[in-house]
Copies of this chain bind each other. A is one copy, B any other.
Amino acid sequence: MGHGGGGAMSGELVEHVFLPAFADDDLARLADSAVLPLLGGRVAFSTDSFVVRPLFFPGGSIGDLAVNGTVNDLAMSGAEPLFLSAAFILEEGTDVTKVGAVAQRLGEAAERAGVRVVTGDTKVVETGHGDGVYVNTAGVGVVPEGVDLRPDRARPGDVVIVSGDIGVHGVAIMSVREGLQFGAEVESDCQPLHRLVSAMLDVTRDLHVLRDPTRGGVATALNEIARASGVGVEVVERSLPIPEVVANACAFLGLDPLQVANEGKLLAFVDRDHADEVLAAMRAHPAGAGSAVIGECVEAHPGMVAATTGFGASRVVDLPLGEQLPRIC
């Protein structure tokens, strides 16, 4: 508990664990807030807390999620992510080397994504009131001129593209947590998407909607966009890029792969005239190599998502009611 008191022990934790992991001059100044270099443009601002269990999993960690989750939220507004905050809620008794390992992974992920951790906070709660480490990040980025990405900008005729295999993060967490094997080890798809978005915006600044289908999966993201924009969305099930291991896991567990979380994929709503070129740009980027058109927006059934099944029938793709799997991110 002493490490959360703001005194000498807090200072040691910051000096020996967090500062080396984030290596940032502005952070090292330890002011109450960081004053950023002048930003030329509209600022995008986002936050997420991360409570994933376990802290380390195949293909990632809570530190990677904390960076990529907020970076991707900024990227979905078309912003170039620049600065992150990192706030830790530590449970009393958590091994300091574990805290250090999380901070290290967070710092490395920030470096890979090209963002700086410039401000932070640490709190400590008693045993039984936390779970090792919870992390919150907030992010600041700059939106290029002419970019206006919003969930309410989908229009009938828009083509819906996904940037690759779906359901991978959720199945990776399930397999490690429940000790289940689905034929092959599955690694989380956790990755930053802002450079992919930048490549898409190089084709046209007039992308309509981007969203990363995290908790609640593709089904939730499509429903939210359909409602916000007042359009129908029609998905062709056969066109969905679902890896065999995800299909197997979902069949075994009785889950719909459309409702399983992703941490390194995006959905794009693009007008028909630009769709081919945007798809080509996505496939040319490592983070979008598996991109595929999965459906379109229609005037019919506004606010609803329908899927054409392999047998040619149509079914409603609904929001999951509650959680499939708690604490997936």
Contact = CB atoms under 8 A, between A and B. Distances in A.
Interface of A: 1-11, 29-39, 41-51, 72-74, 76-77, 79, 83, 85-89, 118-121, 123-126, 128-131, 134, 136, 138-141, 143, 149-152, 211-212, 214-216, 220, 224, 228, 259, 261, 318-324, 326-327
Contacts of A34: 44-46, 77
B5 A73 contact: no
A33 B41 CA distance: 15
Contacts of A220: 6-7
A88 B89 CA distance: 12
A12 to B, nearest CB: 10
Contact of A129 (B35, B118, B131, B228): B131
A66 to B, nearest CB: 12
A321 B2 contact: yes
A120 to B, nearest CB: 7
Contact of A29 (B5, B150, B216): B150
Contacts of A322: 1-3, 5, 7-10
B326 A76 contact: no
Contacts of A118: 45
Contact of A125 (B4, B131, B143): B131
Contacts of A131: 125, 129
B319 A7 contact: yes
B77 A151 contact: no
B326 A124 contact: yes
Top 10 A-B pairs, shortest CB-CB distance:
A2-B322, A6-B215, A5-B323, A138-B138, A33-B46, A6-B216, A47-B85, A7-B320, A32-B76, A136-B136
A212 B50 CA distance: 28
A49 B89 contact: yes
Nearest to A149: B31
Contact of A43 (B8, B43, B215): B43
Given A128-B128, A216-B5, A324-B5, A45 B72 contact: no
Given A31-B151, A136-B136, 4 more contacts: A1-B323, A6-B215, A32-B77, A125-B326
B89 A89 contact: yes
A119 B51 CA distance: 18
A7 B328 CA distance: 13
B51 A326 contact: no
Contact of A326 (B49, B126, B259): B126
Candidate in A43, A83, A88, A211 with the most chain B CB atoms within 10 angstroms: A43
